[in-house]
Amino acid sequence: MQVSVGTFNLNNLFSRFNFQAEVAGKPSADDGGITLTFGPDDIDVRTFKGRLVKQKPEAATEEIARRIRDEVNADVLAVQEVEHIGILKEFNRDYLDGLYPHVALIEGNDKRLIDVGILSKLPIGKITSHQTAVHPDKPNERVFGRDLLEVEILDPAGKKLFTLYNTHLKSHFVPHTEDPIEGRKKANDRRRRQAEAISRILTKNERKGGKFILVGDMNDPPDSAFLRPMLTVDERPLTNALAQAVETRPPKDETPGQGPGPQSPVWTHRFNPPGPDTPPEYSLYDHIWLSEALTPNLRSAHIDRRKKHGGDGSDHDPAWVVLDL
């Protein structure tokens, strides 16, 4: 059987309540109107740094759904930047027309409330969260800012096909209150610790000949020195399944005067640095790595290419592979 497995950063799929109302006609000063009063314990809100985060705009939500339905249509889709399982189920029901009967997400560590999850047409077996994992360099601190979510994917008869590991590693973002050089070093060091933790977890969990896939938003290209520890499990190298990925369409031409555009068709993230003489950077941040046992099963690899430089509903492009199992 052929099975397609993908990854897509949905870019802040939040479920936030925005209260709106329409007033029919022009009320007079004597009408008084309607006053709604809420006490401090009447509404439970979730905030980040003291501020409510707006829900994802309707048009952007519909656009990421369209790409999933019409372009990717993966049998198993790992997603990142989802607030909670409720919004993921709602997204699947209302925007994907119930395309995925199996949904998995465990609330992780992120202070911004973004989690990793799984949408699957195939049955799901055991679900394990590794959010409490630590690194020897910092044994009192959880190493994953989000999670490493482990999910067994089964065939229709209930037999395990492979194990999927989904993660979202430390970004390059440095708060303006921090020194930029020191901030970049801290971010890179944490990404390295996360990569080392992933290698240890997979080495412990996966025996020789094990069929597993590591996917997610790694926030660095495959050749990054900070990700190198992650690419070997029990001294067995993983295979970059997207190395020869094919685009669904050619990329949009770069803005005149901003450089030549992407130097390779294998990219999922475009970053436009500030400044007039800094061309955009195109990188493969969204990865799919196959275990040694699954590598011979790879049949094709794909990236759905955006039509706008800023992204179509997300600043990441979805990627997927087709396996013959």
Residue 50 tokens read as 């003291």
Decide if 6 contacts 74 (C-beta within 8 A): yes
Of 177 and 205, which is predicted with more confidence? 205
Write the pLDDT tens digit of every residue in 147-159.
999 999 999 999 9
219 within domain boundaries:
yes
Residues in the chain: 325
Write the pLDDT tens digit of every residue in 207-261.
999 999 999 999 999 999 999 999 999 889 999 999 999 999 999 999 888 888 8
Write the pLDDT tens digit of every residue in 162-171.
999 999 999 9
Decide if 276 contacts 309 (C-beta within 8 A): no
pLDDT at 18: 47
35 within domain boundaries:
no
State the chain's mean pLDDT as an integer: 90
d(C-alpha 286, C-alpha 320), whole Å = 10
Cα-based angle 164, 170, 174 (whole degrees, multiple of 5): 160
203 within domain boundaries:
yes
List the domain range (segments joined by +) for residue 6.
2-14+46-324
- The closest of 94, 68, 92 to 316, measured between CA atoms, is 68
Q: How confident is the model at residue 23 (pLDDT cuts 50, 70, 90)?
A: very low
Strand partners, 269: 283, 316
**Residue 124 CB-half CA count within 13 A:** 23
Indicate the residue type of 222: P
- The closest of 216, 207, 201 to 293, measured between CA atoms, is 207
164 within domain boundaries:
yes
Cα-based angle 313, 17, 121 (whole degrees, multiple of 5): 50
Q: What is the dihedral of CA 104, 226, 292, 103, to 10 degrees?
A: 10
pLDDT at 55: 78
HEC states along the chain? Answer: CEEEEEEEEEEEECCCCCCCCCCCCCCCCCCCCCCCCCCCCCCCCCCECCECCCCCCHHHHHHHHHHHHHHHCCCEEEEEEECCHHHHHHHHHHCCCCCCCEEEECCCCCCCCCEEEEEECCCEEEEEECCCCEECCEEEEECCCCCEEEEEEECCCCCEEEEEEEEECCCCCCCCCCCHHHHHHHHHHHHHHHHHHHHHHHHHHCCCCCCEEEEEECCCCCCCCCCHHHHEECCEECEECCCCCEECCCCCCCCCCCCCCCCCCCCCEEECCCCCCCCCEEECCEEEEECCCCHHHEEEEEECCCCCCCCCCCCECCEEEEEEC
pLDDT at 127: 98
Q: Residue 217 is part of a domain; what is its CATH number?
A: 3.60.10.10
Phi, psi values for residue 215, rounded to 5°: -135, 170
Q: How confident is the model at residue 206 (pLDDT cuts 50, 70, 90)?
A: very high
The share of the chain scoring above pLDDT 70, in percent, equals 88
Write the pLDDT tens digit of every residue in 33-46.
555 565 666 555 55
Write the pLDDT tens digit of every residue in 114-139.
999 999 999 999 999 999 999 999 99
The share of the chain scoring above pLDDT 90, in percent, equals 76
32 within domain boundaries:
no
Per-residue pLDDT, averaged over 11-40, amounts to 60
Indicate the residue type of 242: L
Res. 15: pLDDT tops 70: yes
- Domain tally for the chain? 1
Decide if 161 contacts 167 (C-beta within 8 A): no
Cα-based angle 44, 46, 51 (whole degrees, multiple of 5): 120
